[in-house]
Amino acid sequence: MMVFLVACEQQKEHTAPAILERDSVPVMTTYGVNTLISDSGVMKYRIISEEWKVNQNLHTPRWIFEKAIFLEQFDEKFKPMTYIQADTAYYYTEKRLWELRGRVHIKTSDGLTYDSEQLYWDERMKKLYSNTFSRLVTPERSLQGAYFWSNETMTKYYVSNSKGSFEKGIMDSDADEANAASDTLQQPMRPQATPVRRSTSANR
């Protein structure tokens, strides 16, 4: 006598791993943003943007500003010090790092302006830097180059290019003007000719 044993098992549905929506969907979206950001009880800057997304689920948690941003930076007395605007911005919350992209423009209360297509603002190191073409204009001169570095208040900055570099804020203003003069490209000067009296011949 032969006995056949039939094992019944539950049918399984084979599906691909789902893409977790929480990885791409922001946990908060705010429209018409005009808010103040503080650090240790001190107001640091104001954020103005049409849209502000917060996504803490990405590998690098961040704030996302895809519809332009305007930042107003304050000094310790809550006086406007610097204005920053860009087409797009990302703030990496764990790193405390701003990444500004597209028509980045800065203007300080001292009359300095800065323009580039990309700029980083490291709040921990209190510095600004860019590895893309940058143009900086002060009331005294205009600088441009492939690398830019500045302290957070833009009172000390560095711009490099193929023609040299210029650094501000390390010395006093008089020394700074002297550096600016020495940084100017000088054309080789033609030696001045010594006048020679032409002798007249006795026989004409």
Whether 40 is covered by a domain: the verdict is: yes
pLDDT tens readout for residues 61-120: 999 999 999 999 998 888 999 999 999 999 999 999 999 999 999 999 999 999 999 999
Contact 26, 54 (CB under 8 A): yes
* CATH code of the domain in which 143 resides: 2.60.450.10
Whether 193 is covered by a domain: the verdict is: no
Whether 151 is covered by a domain: the verdict is: yes
The most confident of 37-46, 107-116, 174-183, by mean pLDDT: 107-116
75 vs 47, 71, 111, CA distance in Å? Answer: 15, 13, 16
pLDDT tens readout for residues 114-171: 999 999 999 999 999 999 999 999 998 899 999 999 999 999 999 987 444 455 543 3
What are the residues facing 33 on neighbouring strands?
49
Whether 188 is covered by a domain: the verdict is: no
Asked if the model's pLDDT at residue 46 lies above 90, the reply is yes
Whether 203 is covered by a domain: the verdict is: no
Length of the chain: 204
Read off the pTM.
0.69
- pLDDT band at residue 191 using 50, 70 and 90 as cut-offs: very low
pLDDT at 12: 52
Where in the sequence is the domain holding 76, given as residue range(s)? 26-179
Whether 184 is covered by a domain: the verdict is: no
Whether 10 is covered by a domain: the verdict is: no
CA 82, CA 73: separation in Å to the nearest integer?
5
Domain count, the chain: 1
pLDDT at 26: 77
- Mean pLDDT along residues 35-47: 89
pLDDT at 156: 95
